[in-house]
Amino acid sequence: MSEAQTSFTPRVFSGIQPSGGLTLGNYLGAMRRFVQWQDRGQQEGFETIFCMVDLHAITVWQDPDALRRQTRELAAGYIASGLDPAKSILFNQSQVPEHAQLAWIFNCVARMGWMQRMTQWKDKAGKNTQNASLGLFAYPALMAADILIYHATHVPVGEDQKQHVELTRDIAAKFNHDYKVDFFPETEPVIEGAATRVMSLRDGSKKMSKSDPSDMARINMTDDADTIANKIRKARTDPDALPSEAEGLEGRAEARNLVNIYAALCDSDIASVLKDVGGRQFSEFKPMLADLAVEKLSPISSEMSRLMETPDEIDRILGLGADRARAIAAPILARTYEIVGMIKS
Ligand code: TRP
């Protein structure tokens, strides 16, 4: 079969940076959806691959011991959320050197102008671009390599990563065009709906973030039941009762966020939740939300702490995942080198 006729089998890839603690936002926005993809992959017979992108994390300074701990914690979070190393490939980016190798090729395909337009680069580098790392600038080329080293076709990510997945398509298209091949697929970003965007508990206009100075603004995946309940009790709201329809949440960012979290935790949507809880005061709704959050999250946080007690076991699982990932990545890198004109070793 000539390469022009290659068709790409569906394959899902996504990654999370091990650059800090995991929040409810990571769980609802990423991990829970990864588990749904894993289950679909099992039914429909496609591969699902989830990575801890430590090479991306060091584009800004990371303390080495903290990075090691956070990488294991992220792996524990993946597994505790329901990703099964027997069903999905779970691994650590730096253990599969083909990512960095393909990233170099892509550094030579991508244009400076493309990189300069990336909004994440502009945000993260800030005013002092001269002092940002070269890795931070090249970040999207490494991300393209993460995806394309597996010929992944579907990439579930948050809205903030859409531009990077589109750049991945541009890199694939330019590579295919320059070398006259149809080798890399044009990957689809699969963007999470607004429904999974979890906002701060203190300010409904800000994303729930691991870097928020106030721990009360977020629910961490490692919080115990009392902490979760307390944070929800103290969450900022307004004095009005809950509306019966979604329109009634307009201009009430904090109220909307809590209803949204409730809906996501019970796999429902805002409209159906409001049908049940419309008319209630927050004094009544918050305990309902706290119970639901504890019911869903505390098994995950206790499983995470159990897994963290045996870091060797986590490392073993990641090692096996890396072997499986390499089995896919190595032939794709070898073919890429051949296309580019590198002599075989
Ligand atoms: N840039 C992504 C983020 O910060 C993480 C990431 C790196 C990623 N490589 C990826 C996500 C490949 C999807 C696919 O969220």
Residue 55, classed as helix, strand or coil, is helix
What is the Å distance from ligand 1's center to 56 Cα?
Answer: 8
**pLDDT score recorded for residue 76:** 98
> Domain 11-196+310-340, what fold?
Rossmann fold (3.40.50)
pLDDT at 193: 65
Ligand 1 close to Cβ of residue 29 (< 6 A): no
- Do residues 38 and 206 make contact, with C-beta atoms less than 8 angstroms apart? no
Q: What is the dihedral of CA 217, 157, 221, 84, to 10 degrees?
A: 170
Q: Which atom of ligand 1 is nearest to the CA of 142?
A: 9
**Average pLDDT taken over every residue of the chain:** 94
CA quadruple 210, 91, 137, 183: dihedral sign: negative
The closest residue, in CA terms, to atom 9 on ligand 1 is 143
| In the chain, ranges of CATH 1.10.240.10 domains | 215-306
Q: CA–CA separation, 129 vs 110, rounded Å?
A: 19
Cβ contacts of residue 337 below 8 Å, gap of 6+? 344
The pLDDT, as a whole number, for residue 345 is 81
Instruction: Tell me the per-residue pLDDT of 239-280, one tens digit each, with 9 for 90 and over.
Output: 999 999 999 999 999 999 999 999 999 989 999 999 999 999
**3-class secondary structure for 143-202?**
HHHHHHCCCCCEEEECHHHHHHHHHHHHHHHHHHHHCCCCCCCCCEEEECCHHHCCECCC
Q: Which residues pair with 47 in a beta bridge?
A: 11
Q: What is the pLDDT of residue 210?
A: 87
pLDDT in tens, 290-306: 999 999 999 999 999 99
Burial of 120 (0-12, 13-18, 19+ CB in 10 A): middle
Active site residue 296: no
Does domain 215-306 bear CATH number 1.10.240.10?
yes
Find the helix packing angle between 98-107 and 134-148, rounded to 10°.
Answer: 110
The pair of structure tokens assigned to 13 is 């890839």
What pLDDT, on the 0 to 100 scale, is given for residue 8? 82
Residue nearest to atom 14 of ligand 1 (CA): 14
Which residue type does 130 have? Answer: Q
Q: Say whether pLDDT at 3 is over 60.
A: no
> Of 178, 179, 94, which is closest to residue 142 (Cα–Cα)?
94
Instruction: Answer yes or no: 231 catalytic.
Output: no
Residue owning the nearest CA to atom 8 of ligand 1 = 15
Ranges of H-type helices in the chain: 24-26, 32-44, 54-57, 64-80, 98-107, 112-116, 119-125, 134-148, 162-178, 225-234, 253-265, 270-277, 282-308, 311-340
- Regarding the beta carbon of 53 and ligand 1, being less than 6 Å apart is answered yes
- Tracing tokens 């393909």 back to the chain, one arrives at 102
Residue 32: pLDDT band with limits 50, 70, 90: very high
**Is residue 207 flagged as an active site residue?**
yes
Q: Which residues of the chain are in CATH 3.40.50.620 domains?
A: 11-196+310-340
Model confidence band, residue 5 (pLDDT cutoffs 50, 70, 90): very low
Pairing relationship of beta strands 47-52 and 11-16 according to DSSP bridges:
parallel
CA of 51 to the centre of ligand 1 (A): 9
Q: What is the pLDDT of residue 2?
A: 35
User: Which residues have CB under 8 Å from 235's CB, separation 6+?
Assistant: 201, 202, 254, 258, 286
